[in-house]
């Protein structure tokens, strides 16, 4: 496409970046995207999604889905460029880049609608950051009749023009836990009359650190991090209760289940020595982002026509794109968005995407959507 096309897309991204909306509140973002898609003459499907939406180009089977997430984070931006957010939220994970590239791909695919070998489904997904958006899309029929789905996340440690891919696990399964310890409050001078919930919590936290180092194979990757402890309010009172929370990351269903079982044993057994009770709450979080072993090598090779494609190591961050991959074959890539040695990482308040990365992201959607339509048209007839 022309330079003017990508200049227009950059301006659209800047507009979206300046007006971020956090998960499940992407109302103005959804309205803006819907208007843009409608003006292209692309049909929008009726769903009960409160934010986000699904649209289609073409007709019949096969159906290939393209997904972009649209939510921002509750982070105050410290960038000072003209289009920086001023509303207290921030596209610190680059979802403004994702949705803009899907808009660009939609425009190019709509222009080829008469030659499409099936249907392209566009999924503008809400609430990825809170790990519920993909499930909402699925519950609203977003994967009905879909043969395969592709998506990506921008990656600031790859340069514009680069794509990172790998078969099998590319992002981790995420477990979110909150552990509450309860007992009897008392005076700090007489701990024998009450429950030392502070010591119970810190002992559990210390014991849990041995789970990775002493029960997981050194050839497996896993992470356990306690990130928040809340217990007590003053210096001379033993609090009645407190809690801690954190996350575990893993790359296989077996390791994930082992971590949950081992963590549960540590948490449930340790408080007995302190006469405390315990409760574990598990959040609804993504499974492993697992790239299809047949389609990923094909996308890897096909993408070499327009980008430098490299095999990457798995990331310990999570993605609710995994929910789609539990249902149908899917390929999830990492697309270079910065590449500077000092580039801020995802979720940082100075995170910055380079506009020159847009062409590769748009082509990733367009070229691979067309490729997969032809691939499934042939294989499903065979």
Place of tokens 């896993």: 222
Whether residues 40 and 144 share a domain: the answer is: yes
Whether residues 249 and 377 share a domain: the answer is: no
- Predicted pLDDT at 83: 98
What confidence tens digit (pLDDT) does each residue in 176-234 have? 999 999 999 999 999 999 999 999 999 999 999 999 999 999 999 999 999 999 999 99
pLDDT confidence bin for 382, thresholds 50/70/90: low
H helical segments located in the chain: 3-18, 27-39, 95-111, 133-139, 197-208, 210-215, 253-269, 295-302, 322-325, 358-381
Q: Which of 282, 302, 329 is the last residue of a domain?
A: 282
Whether residues 66 and 161 share a domain: the answer is: yes
Whether residues 90 and 146 share a domain: the answer is: yes
Per the structure block, which two tokens stand in for 80?
């000072």
pTM: 0.94
Q: Give SS3 for 221.
A: coil
Backbone angles phi, psi at 133, to 5 degrees: -60, -45
- 14 annotated among ligand-binding-site residues: no
CATH code for position 192:
3.30.70.360
Beta carbons within 8 Å of 97's beta carbon, 6+ residues apart: 13, 91, 154, 337, 353, 357, 358, 361
Whether the bond into 219 is cis, omega within 30 of 0: no
Whether residues 88 and 167 share a domain: the answer is: yes
CA 89 to CA 85: how far, in whole Å? Answer: 7
Per the structure block, which two tokens stand in for 324?
């789609």
Nearest to 228, CA basis, from 272, 191, 283, 274: 283
Q: Mean pLDDT over residues 72-83, rounded?
A: 98
- 258 annotated among ligand-binding-site residues: no
Whether residues 368 and 312 share a domain: the answer is: yes
Whether residues 164 and 53 share a domain: the answer is: yes
Whether residues 75 and 114 share a domain: the answer is: yes
Beta strands 146-155; 63-69: pairing state = parallel
What total of structural domains would you count in the chain?
Answer: 2
Whether residues 152 and 50 share a domain: the answer is: yes
What confidence tens digit (pLDDT) does each residue in 115-155 have? 999 999 999 999 999 999 999 999 999 999 999 999 999 99
Q: Which of 235, 267, 282 is the last residue of a domain?
A: 282
CA 285 to CA 283: how far, in whole Å? Answer: 6
Domain span at residue 141? 3-171+288-381
CA 85 to CA 346: how far, in whole Å? Answer: 16
Tell me the helices (H) and strands (E) count for the chain, helix number first.
Answer: 10, 16
Query: In 10 A of CB 18, how many CB atoms?
Result: 17
- Predicted pLDDT at 1: 64
Whether residues 178 and 162 share a domain: the answer is: no
CA 378 to CA 82: how far, in whole Å? Answer: 48
Nearest to 81, CA basis, from 356, 350, 357: 350
Whether residues 43 and 189 share a domain: the answer is: no
* In the predicted structure, residue 81 carries a pLDDT above the cut 70: yes
**Torsion 73-354-337-150 (CA) sign:** positive
Q: Which residues pair with 171 in a beta bridge?
A: 289, 315
> What's the burial of 235, exposed, middle or buried (CB within 10 Å: 0-12/13-18/19+)?
exposed
Whether residues 186 and 115 share a domain: the answer is: no
- 348 annotated among ligand-binding-site residues: no
Going from the C-alpha of 12 to that of each of 15, 102, 104, the distances in angstroms are 5, 12, 10
Q: Mean pLDDT over residues 23-48, rounded?
A: 98
Q: Which residues pair with 58 in a beta bridge?
A: 119
Beta strands 119-125; 53-58: pairing state = antiparallel
CB burial string 87-117: b at 16+ within 10 A, e below: eebbbbbbbbbbbbbbbbbbbbbbeeeeebb
Whether the bond into 224 is cis, omega within 30 of 0: no
What confidence tens digit (pLDDT) does each residue in 282-318 have? 999 999 999 999 999 999 999 999 999 999 999 999 9
Q: Which of 282, 304, 324 is the last residue of a domain?
A: 282
CATH code for position 325:
3.40.630.10
């Amino acid at each position: 496409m022309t330079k003017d096309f990508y200049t227009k897309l950059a301006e659209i991204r800047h507009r979206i970046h300046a007006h971020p909306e956090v998960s499940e509140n992407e109302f103005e973002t959804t309205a803006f995207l819907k208007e843009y898609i409608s003006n292209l003459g692309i049909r929008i499907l009726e769903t009960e999604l409160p934010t986000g939406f699904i649209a289609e180009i073409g007709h019949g089977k096969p159906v290939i889905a393209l997904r972009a997430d649209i939510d921002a984070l509750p982070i105050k931006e410290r960038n000072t460029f003209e289009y920086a957010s001023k509303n207290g939220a921030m596209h610190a994970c680059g979802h403004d880049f994702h949705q803009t590239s899907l808009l660009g791909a939609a425009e190019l695919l709509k222009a080829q609608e008469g030659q499409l070998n099936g249907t392209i489904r566009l999924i503008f997904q809400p609430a990825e950051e809170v790990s519920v958006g993909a499930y909402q899309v699925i519950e609203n029929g977003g994967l009905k009749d879909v043969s395969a789905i592709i998506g990506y996340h921008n990656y600031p440690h790859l340069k514009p023009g680069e794509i990172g891919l790998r078969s099998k696990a590319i992002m981790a399964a995420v477990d979110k836990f909150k552990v509450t310890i309860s007992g009897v409050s008392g005076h700090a001078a007489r701990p024998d009359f009450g429950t030392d919930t502070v010591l119970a919590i810190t002992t559990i936290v210390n014991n849990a650190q041995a789970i990775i180092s002493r029960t997981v194979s050194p050839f497996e990757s896993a992470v356990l991090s306690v990130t928040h402890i809340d217990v007590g309010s003053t210096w001379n009172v033993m609090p009645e209760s407190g809690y801690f929370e954190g996350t575990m990351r893993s790359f296989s269903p077996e390791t994930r289940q082992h971590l949950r079982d081992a963590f549960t044993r540590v948490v449930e057994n340790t408080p007995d020595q302190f006469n405390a009770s315990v409760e574990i709450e598990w959040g609804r979080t993504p499974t492993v982002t697992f790239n299809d072993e047949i389609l990923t090598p094909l996308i890897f090779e096909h993408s070499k026509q327009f980008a430098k494609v490299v095999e990457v190591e798995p990331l310990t961050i999570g993605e609710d794109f995994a929910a789609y991959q539990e249902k149908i074959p899917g390929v999830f890539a990492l697309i270079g968005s910065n590449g500077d040695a000092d580039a801020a990482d995802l979720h940082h308040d100075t995170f910055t995407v380079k506009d020159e990365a847009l062409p590769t992201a748009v082509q990733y959607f367009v070229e691979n959507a067309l490729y997969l339509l032809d691939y499934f048209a042939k294989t499903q007839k065979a």
